[in-house]
Structure 1
Amino acid sequence: MEIIRFADRKPQPWRNGGGVTRQIAGHPDAASLQDGGWDWRVSIAEVTKAGDFSSFPGMERVLTVVEGELLLLTVDGAEHPLEKYRAFRFPGGAATSCALPTGDVRNLNVITRAGSFKGFTSIVEISKKRAHPLFAGQLGILLQGQATASDGRREPEALGRYDAVVGSDSASPEVLGRGFLAVVSIDQVTG
């Protein structure tokens, strides 16, 4: 079972210098590649001021506010109010800017190479009675609350806020607790 500890992720400046992000996972390992040389990336960005978002031509983005109340996103001139835990998909190369009408936010970003991969984000409420399994191609990221992860082969491990559990089809890890979990799925596009 693989757990990616958020506390171990180092902040990196946005491509345009407008903020910072912490990469959780990528393929190939996005941290070791030049900016944009990867096929997909999952990260958490801190948005502390209004302004432009970095452009990712040829990519598709799914953005979810995971901390804070509201992000006012403008994509190619159209305004989209994004509330907490509501995923929003848009083209990575679109002219994108934001306003922060209620204060700072943190965003969960899933960026995939268009035509090669498709990213999805679902927010689920976890339970102490019924474990939530994570399969290959999925990441479970604890957004709020207290939880443990276990693959049935070793003792459950406590998760901190924004820690990620990597899914697997053999001995699928399960998350048990109370709170909210982002389940990020990355699917390869075929055909």
Structure 2
Amino acid sequence: MEIIRYAELKAHPWRNGGGVTRELASHPAAAPAHAPGAGWDWRVSIADVSKAGDFSAYPGMDRVLTVVEGELLLLSVDGAEHPLEKFRPFRFSGDAAASGALPTGDIRDLNVITRSGVFKGYTSIIELSKKRAHPVFEGQFGILLQGQAAVASGTGGAEPAAGSAGTQAAEPTTLNRYDAVAGSDTDTPEILGRGFLAVVSIDRVAD
């Protein structure tokens, strides 16, 4: 089970000085971490936006942006204004001329960027439960946005063989805010808690 600790991620300053980005994951992982559109086909990151201004262009990419802290980002895309409230994912083209204004102060956002025609990214915000675990499957990331939660390895839906004594389940691991859990279809991670979780899905586009 892979847990990506937000506190251990390096902050990359924006070229325009308007914020910093922390990369949670990208593919291929060996690609340059902060070169727009160069060398990777998808990236999941969290950005702190502290100054109004232009966003970097990502030609040939598709973007999903979600405000995860702060009240409002006023996003302009090719001249059209879109007020983005907390926990409301918004999709737009990386080819577009985009800029952001901060009418209520600094914000933090979750970014999912995928190469058009190769991968498609999705972001869903769900409310966690202490009674029913939420599984994170292959091609997904579960990111704790708010509240308290823990993750444990599941069974991937497999039932123990008849007569098998099974193995002792591992103790759940506590997640901190903005920690990410990489999904798997084997020993599928399962998250329990109270609060809100972002589920990011990266799907390969069929030929």
Q: With structure 1 as the length reference, what TM-score do the two structures score?
A: 0.96
In 2, Cα distance between equivalents of 1:134 and 1:151: 10
Report the equivalent of 1:10. 10
Residue 166 of structure 1: which of 178, 182, 188 is its match?
182
Aligned residues between the structures: 191
Residue 142 of structure 1: which of 141, 144, 168 is its match?
144
Q: Which amino acid aligns with 2:152?
A: S
8 Å CA contact 2:23–2:33 kept in 1: the answer is no
Structure index of larger Rg: 2
Report the equivalent of 1:20. 20
Report the equivalent of 1:39. 41
SS at match of 2:124: strand
- Give ranges in structure 2 of 5+ residues lacking alignment: 155-168
Q: Which amino acid aligns with 2:174?
A: A
Q: Which amino acid aligns with 2:26?
A: G
1:176 maps onto 2:192 in alignment? yes
Residue 115 of structure 2: which of 113, 116, 125 is its match?
113
8 Å CA contact 2:12–2:34 kept in 1: the answer is no
Deviation of 1:30 (Å): 5.8
In 1, Cα distance between equivalents of 2:96 and 2:87: 22
Deviation of 1:14 (Å): 2.6
Distance 1:65 1:30, change over 3 A: farther
Give aligned-pair identity as a percent: 73
- Give ranges in structure 1 of 5+ residues lacking alignment: none
Q: Deviations over 1:61-111 (max 9, x none)?
A: 000000000000000000000000000000012100011011100000000
In 2, Cα distance between equivalents of 1:45 and 1:166: 19
Q: With structure 2 as the length reference, what TM-score do the two structures score?
A: 0.89
